[in-house]
Structure 1
Amino acid sequence: MHLQEWLQLLCSHTGLKGSESEDLWSLLPSLPSFSLSTSSLLGLGALASLTAYWLVTRPRPMHPPCDLQAQSVAINGDPNCRRSALLKDENLLEFYYDDIRTAYDMFQRGVKITGNGPCLGFRKPGQPYEWISYTEVAQKAQWLGCGLIAKGCQLNTQQFIGIFAQNRPEWIITEVACYTYSMVLVPLYDTLGMEAMVHITNLAEMTVVICDREERATSLLENKEKGLTPKISCLVLFTDFSQAFAERAGKCEVEVLKLEQILDLGRQNLKDPVPPQPQDLAVVCFTSGTTGKPKGAMITHGNIASNASSVIKILEGSFTFQQGDVSISYLPLAHMFERMIQLSLFTFGARVGFYQGDITLLMDDMKTLKPTFFPVVPRILNRIYDKILGSVTSPFGRALLHFAVRRKQAELRSGIMRNNSLWDKLVFNKIQASLGGNLRFALTASAPISSTVLSFLRATLGCLIFEGYGQTECTGGCTFSLPGDASTGHVGAPLPCAMVRLEDIPDMNYFAKNRQGEICVRGPSVFKGYLKDPEKTAEALDSDGWLHTGDVGQWLPNGTLRIIDRKKNIFKLSQGEYIAPEKIENIYVRSVPVFQVFVHGDSLQSYLIGIVVPDREVFVDWAKEQGFVGSYQELCQNPDVKNAVLEDMRAVGKEAGLKSFEQVKDLYLHPDMFSVANGLLTPTLKSRRTDIQKVFQQQLSSMYNKTAS
C-alpha cells in the first residue's frame, strides 16, 4: 500500500474532513513516496490513530462575529460617531426575535421552552438548592397581579408598585406580576435613606409596597405615621409579621397582608393577562443618589428588549445561552445590571439561583449552585485575584502559576478559550472548583477593571469573561466586548442597539478631533427621561435624543471604546487645574497595600489628599517586608507605615502617567472598609463621595492644617 492510499483510507475511516484533512494532506509533499510493509503499516496505524485523535480533539479558536480590528463603523463618515460592525446598515437593532418585544414576552418564551423546568432557586444554610418551576412562577405572578387589582390597583402604566426586598424568588414573581398586567415596578433599597424613600414614594404616588420582612415594612410605616407618605394604604410581606405590627399599621389606615393572602385573593378574582406594548413603561429605576435626590429613570419594555436583543446578537454563533445554564443572583435587583442578566436568561429557559442573603457566604453558595454564568463587579474580581496570588507562597508555586498563566494567555490571544488544558488540570483546577467548577461565562461592569486582573482571570478561570459599559439611563449596557477578543484596556464596541458619539469637553482638554470626549449614546435602549423631572431630563437628554453620560471615552484604532475619565465629579484646585478623582483612585488601587481609596481636593488648596483603606489580607505581610511589625490596627496608626504606603501609591501613579498635581500629598489610613452597610458605598459599589467627605471631615481638615503649617 502506498502512503497516499493509506492517508486516503485514514481520512475516510476517521471521518476527517475540511481543514482537518487538509492539515494531514499538507504533510504529504514533505514525505517520500514508498510502499509499506505489514509491520510498518501496523506501526503507522497506531501513529495515525494518535494523529487523528489529536486533530479531532485539539482546541479550536473561537470565531469572532466580525473583524476584531474593526469592531465598530463610523456613521456618515464621522469617526467619532460609531455603531456596531455587526449591523448591515445604520438601522439599530430593536428586536432579535420578532415576537419578543417586551419583558413579559421574554419570560413567557422561557415558560414555553421549559414549562415545569426549574426557574428560580433558593437555599437554607447547609442545604441544597430548591427550585420553583417556570410554570409555577408564571401562575403565582398572575395570582399576585390579580390580587393587586382586587386591592384597587389599575391595569395601566401609571400604576406604580413598590418593592423593598433583598434578592429572592418572590422579587421576580412580583416583577413578572407587574409585567403580566402592564403595571410599573419601582424598586426601593436600604441605602437610599429615609428622606429619599419618602421622595420616591410620593413621586410615584405609591399605594402598595411589597416587602420581604417586617423590619423593612416598619421603616415605611414610620413615614406614614408621620404623615410623610399619605398615599400608602397597603403593605404586602413575604414573611410572617407580628400582631403588634398589624395593629400599629391599622391605626394609620394601612392594611398589612402576607403574600399568601394576596395570592389567594387573586386566585379568587382571576383575570386574563393584559400584556404591555414595547412603548409602555416597565420600571422606574432610581439612581443611587451620590449627589442630590435620587432620579427615577423611566425604562420601557422596548428599552429592555432592544438591550437584551443586542447581547444575544453579539453572542450568536460563538456562545448560546442554554436551558441548562444557571446564574447566581447576589448583585442588587434594584438596579438594571442584574435584572437585564436575569431577563436575558429567562428568554432561553435558563435558571437563576439566589444567594442566602449574606455576601460572606457567596463562595459557599457558588460551590453548591455550580453556576455556569457569573455576573460580577470589578471589586469582587479584584478580591478573587488577590486570593489566588495570596494562596501561593512558595517560589516554585509562584513560578509555576505565572508560567501556566502565560501559556493560557497565549492560547487566549489565538482565540482559544477552554478549561480542560494540562494547566487547568494541574494548576487551575482548585481555583475553578472554588467558583463551582462549571463557569462558562462571566460579565463584569459598573466600574473599570485592571487589564492585569482581567487577563489573569480569563486564563485561570477558563471561561469567557466579557466587559461591558453603560448606565441605568441606557437600560444597562451600551458597549460590550466581543467573543474571541482577548485584548484588554477597553469596554468593547457599541451594542447593536446603540450609536455612541464623543463630544468635546474643553475645560478638561478633551476634544473629539483627538478621538476623546464625553460619551453620548442614542438608540432604542435609551430611557424616556426622569419621572416627573423635566429639568434633570433635559440635562441628561439633549433635543436630538443623545444621552450625555458624564463619562469620558476614547476610541481605539480597533473600534472599541476605552473609559479614561469622569466628567461629573471633577473639581478645580486653587491654581486652576481640573481634577477627576475617580481616574486617580482607579490607578491608586493598583498599589499592593491599598484596598480602597478616596481622593479629596478643595478649590482653596493647591494639592490633593486621600483616605486609604489597606488591604487587610496582604497589609501586615507587606508592612513586614518594608521593615514594620505590628497588628493591622497598629500599622494603620503608624505614621512611618503611612508614609511607606504613600510612597508606593505615588510610584504607581507616576508609572501610570499621573501629573504631579494629580498625586496625593498626604493620606489617612482607615482600618475599616467602605461598604453599603455603613453608607459609604452605593448598592452598585460606587463611592458616596459626599458622605465619605462628611465622615472623614476631621481627618481631611487635619491633613490640610498640618501641611499648611
Structure 2
Amino acid sequence: MACCGSVDPIRPPINAAFQSDVLKGPEQIHVSKFYKEAKDGKFISCLSDDARTLYQTFRKGVIESNNGPCLGWRKNLHSPYEWMTFNEALLRAKNFGSGLIALGLRPGPSTFVGIYSQNRPEWILFEQGVYCYSMVVVPLYDTLGPDACAFIIHQAEITVVVVEDDKKVNSLLDKAPRNLRKLIAIKEVRPATMQRAKNQGIEIYTFDEVEKLGAAKGFPEVEPKPSDICTLCYTSGTTGNPKGVMLSHMNVVSGVAGVLLQLGPHKPRVGDVMISFLPLAHMLERCCENGVYYNGGAVGFYSGDIKELTNDLKALKPTLMPAVPRLLNRVYDKIYAEVARSSVKKVLLRMALNAKESEIKRGIIRKTSLWDKIVFRKIQEGFGGRLRLMVVGSAPLSSTVLTFCRAALGCLICEGYGQTECTAPITLTVQGDFVPGHVGPPVACNAIKLVDVPEMEYYASQQHGEICVKGSNVFIGYYKDPVRTAETIDEDGWHHTGDIGQWQPNGTLKVIDRKKHIFKLSQGEYIVPEKIENAYIRSQYVEQVFVHGESLKSCVVAVVVPDVEVIKSWAMENNIPGTLSVLCNNPDVKQLIMSDMIAWGKQFGLKSFEQVKDIYLHPDPFSMQNGLLTPTFKSRRPQIKNYFAPQLDDMYKHLD
C-alpha cells in the first residue's frame, strides 16, 4: 500500500491517457472508469446495501472503528485535543434528536430544523440527531446576511434553530419571522438576550437541556429512507433570494461513495484524523466528514479562528485535510515572500522544488527526502507533519501552486470540481496523475456531457460547452421553486451547471468559463459584475465601468471611463491642467473617482469582497466602433476583458 512516507510510486489505477469512458451516441457522454456498470448508463449510489443513508453510514463507522475516537475539540489554544468516541457521539445524537421531538417537532422528512453555528462537535451531534428521526438539516451561515436567514426560516417553515452563541442569537432575533418559536444555544446566552427573545415570544434552551430532555423521554427512532431529503442547502444566490437545494440521503451517500471508490487504498480509514475548518454549511465539508465517519476515522474541529489554524494543525496533527485554493495560495505567497530576502534561500528552494517535482513525475510522494529535511520540514510541520491526503475544491487552483504544494507538503493532493446541486463532487483528479491543469474525470455517481453555447462560440463538437451532469448525486430540485428547478434540470434529467468546460485529450475535464456573467473569487464568493457596475455608474464621475474578477484572485478590479465634463470642471476648480488622457494618469483624479465609487457601493449595500480594490482610468469610451459595445449598447465582456488584459494583469500584480 503506497503511503506518503514510503518511496513506492503511486501509479494511476486506470490508464492516465484515457481517464473516462465515452458512451456511444452523438452526445459524447463521459462516465467513470472506476465503476464497470457506468458503461451501461448506471451510477453508483452506495458501496453496500446496508449503508444507503447518512444514518446508516455513521453506524458503519462505529463498527469499523471499534468505538474509536470520533469527534475532537480543544478548550483553548493552549490545551490538547479531547475526544468523544463513536458510541458516545451516537448516544448524545439520539438523545438530542429525541429532545427535539420532546420540544414538539414531528419526526419525518417534512420537518426542517435550522443550525447557525461554526464547525464544532455539536454540529455533528445535531446532524445525526436530526437523522435519527428522519428530519432535515438546514444550515444558516454568516455570508447569507440577516435578510436571507430570515427568508430561509420563513420559506422552510423552521420553528427551531440551533444557534452557536449570544451574537448569532441576537442576529436572528433582529429579523426573526413569526414562525420561529425556539432557539437552542450551544454556548451561554446573556440574560438580556433571553429577555429579548422572550419579548418576541421565542424560548431559548441550552443544548444540554435538550439532550437531557431527550434522554428522559427516549422516543423510538424513525429511520430515514434513502429517498428522503436529508438537507436543504441554501446557496447564497448571486441575485434575488437564496435557492434551497434539496438533497436526499441517496444524493449525499452516492457522492461520498463515488469519491471513496475512486480513492481506493488512499481513502479515509481507521486511525485517520481530519481537520474540520471549511464551513459545514457547505456540501464539500459535509461530504468529506461523512466519508471519514463512514470509514471509522476521526474529525478534529478547529478552534474557530482561521488566523489560528496553524496552531490547531500543530496540535491535531491531521492525516486528512479538505482545503480551498485560497489557503494554498497563502502558503505559496508566504514562502516566496520569505525566500525573497535571501538569494541563498531562493537557490535552495528552486533546487528542492526541481528535485521533488522530478520525483512527483515518477509518482513518488514522500516527506523523507533530504530536501524535505532541509527546505520543506517547516511547512510540513505547519500542517501538523502527518498529512497524507488533501482534497481541494470550491474554486480553481493554479497549476503552479498545485505543483508547489504537492512538492512542499509531500502528500497526495486531489483536485475536484463540483456544485451544491450535485452534492459537491462532479469530477476528481486521479491519484498518480500529477499533470496539473484539469479537474479530473467524472466520479462514478454521475455522467457529464457538454452542450453548445452558440452565443459564446462554444460547441460540443469542438470539445467545448456548458457542463451538464446527470446521476445519483444530482439534487431533487429547488425548494418551493419549480420555475428555477425547470430552468436548471432539463426533461431528460440533465443538470445545467452554467460552467463552461473543455474535454482534454486524456478524458479529463477543464473548467474554462462561466455561461452567465458570474464568477467565483478564490475564497468561494460569487460575484455578479453587472450588479456592482449598476452601483458605480451612479457616481457623477463615471461615464462607463467594467468590473472584472478572476477565480484565482480574492478581489475585483475595474476599468473606468470618466465623465469628461465633470472631471474637466473638477480639474479646473483645483487648478490641475491637462487633457483627459493626462488626467486619467493623475493619482488624485484616480483617488477622487475610486472613493466616490466605493461610497456609492456602500449605499447600494455591496459587501466588502464586491467592492473594487483598484481601478484603471481610460479616456476613450467603449463603443460599437471599437468593438466593445453591442448594437444594443451592452458591454461585450469577453472583448473588453481581452482589450484591457495588460491593465487588468497589471492591477492584480500590484495587489498580489
- TM bracket (short chain): 0.7 to 0.9
Cα distance per residue 1:214-242 (max 9 Å; x no partner): 22112222323xxxx11111111012223
Separation of aligned partners in 2, 1:380 and 1:516 = 30
Give, in angstroms, the shift of residue 243 of structure 1.
Answer: 2.6
Q: Does 1:366 align with 2:324?
A: no
1:348 aligns with 2:295: yes
The alpha-carbon deviation at position 601 of structure 1 amounts to 6.9
Evaluate the alpha carbon distance shift between residue 150 and residue 420 of structure 1 in structure 2; reply closer, same or farther with a 3 A threshold. same
Q: In structure 2, what is the Cα distance between the partners aligned to 1:321 and 1:134?
A: 16
Residue by residue over 1:670-704, the C-alpha shift from the partner in whole angstroms, topping out at 9 and shown as x without a partner, is 9x9xxxxx99xxxxxxxx9964697559x87x947
The 1:267/1:586 distance shift into structure 2, 3 A limit, reads: closer
Q: Secondary structure at the match of 2:233?
A: strand
Change (3 A) 1:446 1:267: same
Task: Summarize the alignment of residues 38-437 of structure 1 with structure 2, pairs less than 5 Å apart.
Answer: 59-78=7-26, 80-88=28-36, 89-90=39-40, 91-123=42-74, 124-224=76-176, 229-317=177-265, 319-392=266-339, 393-437=341-385
Matched-pair contact (CA < 8 Å) for 1:93–1:496: yes
Which runs of 5 or more structure 2 residues have no equivalent in the other structure?
A: 519-528, 534-544, 564-583, 623-656
SS at match of 1:293: coil
Instruction: Report the Cα distance in structure 1 between the residues aligned to 2:469 and 2:454, rounded to whole angstroms.
Output: 20
Given that 1:519 and 1:552 are in contact with CA atoms closer than 8 Å, whether structure 2 keeps it comes out as yes
Q: 1:581, 1:465 → 2: CA distance?
A: 33
Contact (CA 8 Å) 1:667, 1:703: kept in 2 or not? no
Q: Where does residue 547 of structure 1 map in the other structure? A: 495
Cα distance in 2, alignment partners of residues 277 and 426 from structure 1: 54
- Would the alpha carbon gap of residues 76 and 122 (structure 1) be closer, same or farther in structure 2, given more than 3 Å must change? same
CA contact (8 A) 2:77 2:311 kept: no
Question: Percent of aligned positions with the same letter in both sequences?
Answer: 42
2:293 maps to amino acid:
F
**Cα distance in 1 for residues equivalent to 2:236 and 2:559:** 23
Would the alpha carbon gap of residues 427 and 603 (structure 1) be closer, same or farther in structure 2, given more than 3 Å must change? closer
CA contact (8 A) 1:70 1:85 kept: no
- Distance in 2 (CA, whole Å) between partners of 1:580 and 1:298 is 35
The answer for unaligned runs of 5 or more in structure 1 is 1-56, 574-578, 590-595, 606-637, 647-665, 673-677, 680-687
Residue deviations 1:279-333, cap 9 Å, x none? 000000000222221000001000011000011110114x132211111111111
Which residue number corresponds to residue 556 of structure 2?
598
Cα pair 2:561 2:618 within 8 Å, conserved: no
Deviation of 1:193 (Å): 1.4
Q: Secondary structure at the match of 1:364?
A: helix
Write the deviation string for residues 445-465 of structure 1: whole angstroms up to 9, x where unpaired: 111111011011101110001
Q: Take 2:498 and 2:209, find their aligned partners in 1: how far apart are those partners?
A: 46
Contact 1:179 1:275 in 2 (8 A): yes
Q: Normalising by the residue count of structure 2, what TM-score does the alignment of the two structures yield?
A: 0.81
Contact 2:259 2:425 survives alignment (8 Å): no
C-alpha distance in structure 2 between counterparts of 1:328 and 1:376, whole Å: 10
- CA–CA separation in structure 2 for the residues paired with 1:396 and 1:301: 55
CA distance in 1, matches of 2:373, 2:190: 54
* 1:243/1:669 CA distance change after superposition, 3 Å: closer
Q: Contact 1:122/1:355 (CA < 8 Å) preserved in 2? A: yes
SS at match of 2:128: helix
Q: CA–CA distance in 1 between the matches of 2:501 and 2:188?
A: 49
Q: Is the 8 A contact 1:569 1:580 kept in 2?
A: no
Matching residue of 2:471:
523
* Secondary structure of 2:175's aligned partner: helix
Q: Give the Cα–Cα distance (whole angstroms) in 2 for the partners of residues 517 and 361 of structure 1.
A: 42
1:509 paired residue among 457, 461, 464: 457
Equivalent residues of 1:404, 1:423 under 8 A apart:
yes
Give the Cα–Cα distance (whole angstroms) in 2 for the partners of residues 394 and 240 of structure 1.
50
Bigger radius of gyration: 1
User: What is the count of residue pairs matched by the alignment?
Assistant: 566
RMSD of the TM alignment (CA)? 3.2
1:585 corresponding residue in structure 2:
550
Residues 24-49 of structure 1: CA deviation (Å, up to 9, x unaligned): xxxxxxxxxxxxxxxxxxxxxxxxxx
Contact map agreement 1:451 1:489 (CA 8 A) in 2:
yes
8 Å CA contact 1:162–1:209 kept in 2: the answer is yes
Provide the rounded CA distance (Å) in 1 between the counterparts of 2:223 and 2:275: 28
Equivalent residue letter for 1:368: A
Letter in 2 for 1:351: A
Q: Deviations over 1:49-68 (max 9, x none)?
A: xxxxxxxx982221322101
